[in-house]
A and B are shown apart, each in its own frame.
Chain A
């Protein structure tokens, strides 16, 4: 009996035939004053102890920004004006989410794998409870994805992962200029017939540096000094311009 169970388990969990090794062109992205978006190159290879197994190979690379709760609101016409009425709280929504695949999504990823590993953007967004009066909560999530796709914060790049000889792969992820600070995660999935067979993860640290860092920290930790400094700059600039014009006129 026990032997049979072990045998079954061994069948269900075969020794890993394929594994992933990968690298990122940068593990740290510095947001300086001149930051205008960035590009990460993600590359690697499939490591095998045995000959190439059967089944169509697929490769998916995701990059995910920090999660932040948010509220999606919908406008409705009341009397003659358009007013925000219904609202749905979204508990988890990544501030950035890119999915690069080696081929059409249906071919490289099965629904079960998507659910288990939360790969597509719809799986990455979690909305726990919509209020009772909102019937169509999924329309709000759709709207969130639509708006963020337009801002290039959510991307689905079909065929953006180049795979050569079923072994080497590389892809590029464009990070837009309106990036939020925090830890970004990059995940790489190797699939066979849509099922995930190997997984690799790495973090990318996105942080403000230099003047940006200094101002951000000051604004949050010494708010009064920051506020007074802003006012001093304003007064000085106002006086400076006035003095300059007087000098120019005389």
Chain B
């Protein structure tokens, strides 16, 4: 069934969009990532204009994250206090990110910088997570208990706060900084930032994996809602019909994903996420390295 999208001004297959939304929704519920880093390139691929794809994707992430967060809230795997600290950092960060983005745009080549930051961040994080999870799996097979660092420099910082759900008593500075960093990246790369926040919470803050997913989703809802409003009021690029099709598939997928996630071990979850991140990274890197079939591209004037 073909459907015409009023803002994107293209006609696409409605079932294809429902399917894509569902698939990305499952991943989002399982891993606590918004799925933007997967969905946005997929939307480019089926012919949605990039500006519309990025803005509408932000709107869809709001829906799937909200749906998944409700499932996590009922299982009490959301650290609301930690989420709020991350959120405050995130909003500051995304404002900063928009500012940086505009500077880069006035210098030209913003496309390339966005792609390069995708390749670098996805590659680094995917690689680290993959190696780390492999080691954990190997160690548990050998019967060694996984090591957990207890006292690092993070514990020496001031403004300590008790995060009961995560079982942590640490300074608010590291989580706030993580929030700012993710906010900046999400504004530049047009994603929720879960794929960076999840590993940052596990490895930098030492939060338990089960709590990480729900907390990450909680923060993503607000950051992407902010982004959606920004895009809708400045660029008029949010396509409501496209968003509805994606999110109907997405919210159902997220519920399924959150339930699958319960049955998987933390290391397995992490290694799957790592593989996916590396795949997307590889695809983007190839696009930059291999000579494209069509060297020319058409863009709107003045950009």
Closest partner residue, chain A, to B47 (CB atom): A178
B11 touches A147 (CB 8 A): no
**B177 on interface, CB distance cutoff 8 Å:** no
Closest partner residue, chain B, to A69 (CB atom): B301
**B166 on interface, CB distance cutoff 8 Å:** no
Q: How far is the CA of A33 from the CA of B241 in the complex (A)?
A: 9
Q: How far is the CA of A239 from the CA of B68 in the complex (A)?
A: 9
User: Could you tell me the distance in whole angstroms from the C-beta of A3 to the nearest C-beta in chain B?
Assistant: 54
**A230 on interface, CB distance cutoff 8 Å:** yes
B240 touches A229 (CB 8 A): yes
Residues 1 to 27 of chain B near chain A (Cβ within 8 Å): 2-4, 6-7, 9-11
Partner of A235, one of B7, B9, B63, B68: B63
From known contacts A31-B4, A82-B289, infer whether A230 and B232 are also in contact, taking CB-CB under 8 Å.
yes
Closest partner residue, chain B, to A231 (CB atom): B225
User: Could you tell me the distance in whole angstroms from the C-beta of A173 to the nearest C-beta in chain B?
Assistant: 17
B270-303 to A contact mask, C-beta < 8 Å, 1/0: 0000000000000000011111101111111111
B233 touches A223 (CB 8 A): yes
A234 touches B241 (CB 8 A): no
Q: How far is the CA of A229 from the CA of B228 in the complex (A)?
A: 11
A207-249 to B contact mask, C-beta < 8 Å, 1/0: 0100111011001100110111111011101111110111000
Taking CB atoms, residues of chain A closer than 8 Å to B299 are 70-73
Which stretch in A5-13, A34-42, A189-197 binds the other chain?
A34-42
B301 touches A89 (CB 8 A): yes
Residues 59 to 99 of chain A near chain B (Cβ within 8 Å): 68-77, 80-84, 89-90
Closest partner residue, chain B, to A219 (CB atom): B236
User: How many residues of chain A have a CB within 8 Å of chain B?
Assistant: 63
A230 touches B298 (CB 8 A): no
**B71 on interface, CB distance cutoff 8 Å:** yes
Closest partner residue, chain A, to B244 (CB atom): A233
A177 touches B4 (CB 8 A): yes
Residues 55 to 74 of chain B near chain A (Cβ within 8 Å): 59-60, 62-68, 70-71, 74
From known contacts A84-B297, A238-B70, infer whether A224 and B255 are also in contact, taking CB-CB under 8 Å.
no
B292 touches A147 (CB 8 A): no
B301 touches A71 (CB 8 A): yes
B70 touches A242 (CB 8 A): yes
A75 touches B252 (CB 8 A): no
Q: How far is the CA of A250 from the CA of B228 in the complex (A)?
A: 34
Q: How far is the CA of A12 from the CA of B68 in the complex (A)?
A: 78
From known contacts A215-B240, A239-B66, A242-B67, infer whether A234 and B247 are also in contact, taking CB-CB under 8 Å.
yes
User: Could you tell me the distance in whole angstroms from the C-beta of B225 to the nearest C-beta in chain A?
Assistant: 6
Q: How far is the CA of A224 from the CA of B229 in the complex (A)?
A: 7
B255 touches A147 (CB 8 A): no
**B243 on interface, CB distance cutoff 8 Å:** yes
User: Could you tell me the distance in whole angstroms from the C-beta of B291 to the nearest C-beta in chain A?
Assistant: 6
Taking CB atoms, residues of chain B closer than 8 Å to A147 are 294, 296-298
**B109 on interface, CB distance cutoff 8 Å:** yes
From known contacts A36-B4, A70-B298, A233-B243, infer whether A84 and B59 are also in contact, taking CB-CB under 8 Å.
no
A155-184 to B contact mask, C-beta < 8 Å, 1/0: 000000000000000000000011111000
Taking CB atoms, residues of chain B closer than 8 Å to A76 are 295
Q: How far is the CA of A178 from the CA of B65 in the complex (A)?
A: 31
**B91 on interface, CB distance cutoff 8 Å:** no
B64 touches A238 (CB 8 A): yes
A80 touches B289 (CB 8 A): yes
Q: How far is the CA of A80 from the CA of B62 in the complex (A)?
A: 37
Taking CB atoms, residues of chain A closer than 8 Å to B238 are 219, 226-227, 230
A212 touches B4 (CB 8 A): yes
Given contacts A148-B298, A234-B247, 10 further A-B contacts (CB under 8 A): A34-B4, A70-B301, A80-B289, A81-B288, A147-B298, A177-B10, A178-B11, A224-B233, A238-B247, A241-B254
A binding-site residues for B, Cβ under 8 Å = 31-37, 68-77, 80-84, 89-90, 140, 143-144, 146-148, 177-181, 208, 211-213, 215-216, 219-220, 223-224, 226-231, 233-235, 237-242, 244-246
